[in-house]
A and B are shown apart, each in its own frame.
Chain A
Amino acid sequence: MNDSRLALTWRLMAFAFILPLLLIIAVDITLSAGVQNFDTDVSFTRFANATLTGYTLLSFVLLGNLFFYGESRNRPLAPLAGMLCASLLGIAATVFLIGQGPLLLEDNGSVQAQAIYNVVHTLVTAGAVVLATTVSLGATFSAVTSQKRRIHFEVEEE
């Protein structure tokens, strides 16, 4: 596949990915002359909290991964310390930004309550992501295996 065709393929796949969302927005705009029940401030707060929590949680998962990476390298401490710093930076940024006031604080009374809520919320979203990915990948595999078997190479007669 040449470069221009590959770029086109990627663009098509990216468009296909966001197509359902674009369709919902288009239908909403057509039927109600605008996107209903969309609150920019609340959505931004949710986006920022999800970004910080997603970063921090995945950093800790990758820190665990780095432990195994070190197994083949005589367990160097430098990358582990580096990733630990990056993970702690995520926690510090979360606590600092939530503590700044209503920008990242949702319906929770304290920084601690908001941070715990963020973790649980992210775990639930991650569960939805895992199930949706499993369903889509599994359905793709089912679709491929349900078709008739193809013969890619003809057996040469002696």
Chain B
Amino acid sequence: MDEMLLAFLLFWLPVAVVPLGGWIYLSSSDERSKSYGRLLAFIGLVLVCISPWTVPSSPSTAAGHLLGAIIGPAMLIVIGIYLVSFSGHVPVGRLSRGDRRLGVVMSIFGIAWFAGMHWWILTPQMSKGDVNSYWFVFWPAFLLLTSCLSSFSGIALLTIGDGRKAESNMMFTLSGAAFILLFLGLNFDGTLVSSEDFRRHLWLSVADLAGLAVGSILSIIVFALVIFVYEKTLPSPSSIQAPTDVELQRVADIITPHLGGGEE
């Protein structure tokens, strides 16, 4: 089979199927459609993750390889944060103290796993010694944005929140931890990733994030303009007649007995 067709069928189609499955799952009301959406997204995800083996000739499948490599630590962190969040003071569905400890352990283990992918032998490799190029895209962008967003959140809690100093300090700690990982990456070589490589890709990830932000803002502006122009071309709705005296009297008769209060 043609390589392009193979890449389309075994990589790009599954890539498109994942959000489609998610959309069906979220927008459907009946259980059968929800299950169908879930299954579709899962099959798409599996096919994307195994695409480096099913379509080895396509360089794009390195992204599928990266997804397979990071899904473990990412899920550990996300589930860990979920457990920590919902074992705190929430009004409904509160989890136990044990879940909280488990959540903390899972989050720390997830972060340690990511750190091991940079400094130890866990780095995603396409072949022995050949580091997946998309790892250099993902890791610096993730660390930098986590540090920036946590710092932003810390200040937001401090300035907008009321008496949220402790929470704010926790966010500054997270921001500082991400910053320290960045700083270590910039100065200490890993088993397969050198600090020079990391430094070069950090600046490129800044360009990536800035470009993505500018492109997204432009797109949202165009979207708002399209709606604005369309709404402006619509004819204004016709006004109805003002109520007559008889109608006003009828309304007053209905409202009057319901005014007042304090009497049981």
Contacts and interface: CB of A to CB of B under 8 A. Distances in A.
Interface of A: 9, 12-13, 15-21, 23-24, 27-28, 35-39, 42-44, 46-56, 58-59, 62, 65-66, 69, 76, 78-79, 82-83, 86, 90, 116-117, 120-129, 131-150
B101 interface: no
B121 interface: no
Given A12-B159, A79-B230, A132-B142, A21 B148 contact: yes
B35 interface: no
A74 B107 CA distance: 47
Given A55-B216, A122-B208, A140-B157, 4 more contacts: A37-B199, A51-B215, A135-B78, A141-B85
Given A38-B203, A50-B208, A66-B223, A132 B81 contact: no
A140 B153 contact: yes
A120 to B, nearest CB: 5
27 contacts: A16-B155, A37-B200, A46-B207, A47-B207, A47-B208, A55-B215, A59-B219, A79-B226, A82-B229, A86-B223, A120-B63, A121-B137, A127-B138, A128-B138, A129-B145, A129-B209, A131-B78, A132-B141, A135-B174, A136-B153, A137-B149, A137-B153, A138-B78, A141-B81, A142-B85, A143-B170, A147-B166
Q: Dominant SS at the B interface? A: helix
B36 interface: no
Interface stretch (B39-47, B178-186, B243-251, B252-260): B178-186
Contacts, number: 238
Interface in B220-245: 220, 222-223, 226-227, 229-230, 233
Nearest to A112: B4
B134 A120 contact: yes
Given A43-B207, A54-B219, A79-B227, A145 B63 contact: no
A149 to B, nearest CB: 4
Given A124-B137, A128-B141, A136 B230 contact: no
Q: Dominant SS at the A interface? A: helix
Nearest to A113: B59
B142 A140 contact: no
Contacts of A21: 144, 148, 206
B89 A62 contact: no
A96 B94 CA distance: 55
Contact of B223 (A19, A59, A137): A59
